[in-house]
Amino acid sequence: MASHRKSRPTGTRVAGIRTPALATAALTSVALLSQSANAAPEADDKPSLEEVEKKVDDLYRQAESATDKYNAAKEKTAKQRKRVDTLLDDVAQRTQKLNEAREELGSFASAQYRTGAAAPDTATFLLADTPQDYFDQTQLMDRMTGRQKVAVDDYVTQQSETMKKRREATESLATLTDSQDGLRTAKATVQRKLAAARELMSTLTAEEKARLAAIEKEKRAEAARKADELARQQAARQKAQDEAAQQQDGGSSSSGSADSGSSSSTPPADSSYATKADKALAFARAQIGKPYVWGAVGPGSYDCSGLTQAAWKAAGVTLPRTTYDQVNAGTTVPLSQARPGDLVFFYDDVTHVGIYIGNGMMIHAPKPGTYVREESIFYDGESAIHSVVRPA
């Protein structure tokens, strides 16, 4: 039988298909162009070093914001847990008193049973679901002695108060559960932001990391220059104030007593603040080198508001836990009038804080992976500064 297959043309096989020789070059060119086209978007999709830096900084800031929410949720949960514990203790004590009142009534019931007097009525009272159920039984009240009525009144009062406290405890337990849920959510958000920042940094090559370090060094140098400029402005302002004070003192008296009067005219609050600020700064300096850990309040590690809270606590001043509460815990002053001990807050959402040490510098706990350190308040640019607050 003759074969019906047609003869195959000669040519070159490409990807399993035999093609005419003249088309080989064209197909090869198409394949190369296709490869180039596919490769181009990959190169374009990779973010620039500046974009990576901005994204990492944004993630750390978001983590700090989430940390403040975590700190607030943690504080709320602790307070709610304390309230629940207090209520449960109260319920336990009231339940004990209720049982004692019930036992006393039970003794009356037993005595009545032995004498055959009104035992069923007393038993009905003891089994009543609510105090009102009992009050409806007016005939029983009329037949009780004075001592019995006192015992009944005590039982009814204890039952009513115990039921009330049990309801409060139940409601507080529900609130505590909500607070714990908020705490877990905030914690998960912080961990997610930090993980994203670490993952993004891990994509950089050694050369890119070196370039990023150089950019960071340049930023620190610029921040130091701004700090020096602020220090000069503050020194000039202080000098002008001192000269004005000297002229005023010279005009009032040329004797040594004038100097004495000048000292006594210094506002006591000023002196008091300086004393407290010195204590706060001494504490903050002693923490330099300790690691930043989100949610930490010492003594081995701190987050930013944990450090400022602990520093001012050492000076006898109680500050709230979070940055957005600390920013309202004092008097706002212009940056040009910042004094050592003042709190410097950053960003529109008030997610970072440091303690001012003078000359445009502060001590702060910067971010995860860093340590408590001295740094220019312009470390992230002048526009990042939100406000300066004098806490005491």
CA distance 128 to 159: 11
Task: Reply yes or no on whether 386 is catalytic.
Answer: no
Of 332, 331, 339, 333, the closest CA to residue 238 belongs to 339
Residues pairing with 297 in the sheet? 302
Rounded Cα–Cα distance for residues 324 and 332 (Å): 13
**Do the beta carbons of residue 286 and residue 46 sit within 8 Å?**
no
Q: Which of 187, 321, 352, 390 is catalytic?
A: 352
* Beta strands, E only, the chain: 11-14, 17-20, 331-333, 343-346, 352-358, 361-364, 373-376, 385-390
**What residues contact residue 204 under an 8 Å CB cut-off, 6+ apart?**
49, 52, 212
Q: How many Cβ atoms from other residues are within 10 Å of residue 109's Cβ?
A: 20
| Packing angle of the helix pair 49-115, 146-202 (nearest 10 deg) | 160
Tell me, what DSSP letter sits at residue 20?
E
Query: Three-state SS for 378?
Result: coil
**Is 304 in the active site?**
yes
**Which residue among the candidates 165, 187, 364, 386 is catalytic per the annotation?**
364
Helix axis angle, 49-115 to 119-126, nearest 10°: 180
Strands 11-14 and 17-20 turn out to be antiparallel
What sections of 116-145 are H helices per DSSP?
Answer: 119-126, 131-135, 138-143
Strand order in the sheet with 385-390: 331-333, 385-390, 343-346, 352-358, 361-364, 373-376
Report in angstroms the alpha-carbon separations of 254 from 241, 247, 258, 266.
19, 11, 7, 19
The catalytic residues are 304, 352, 364
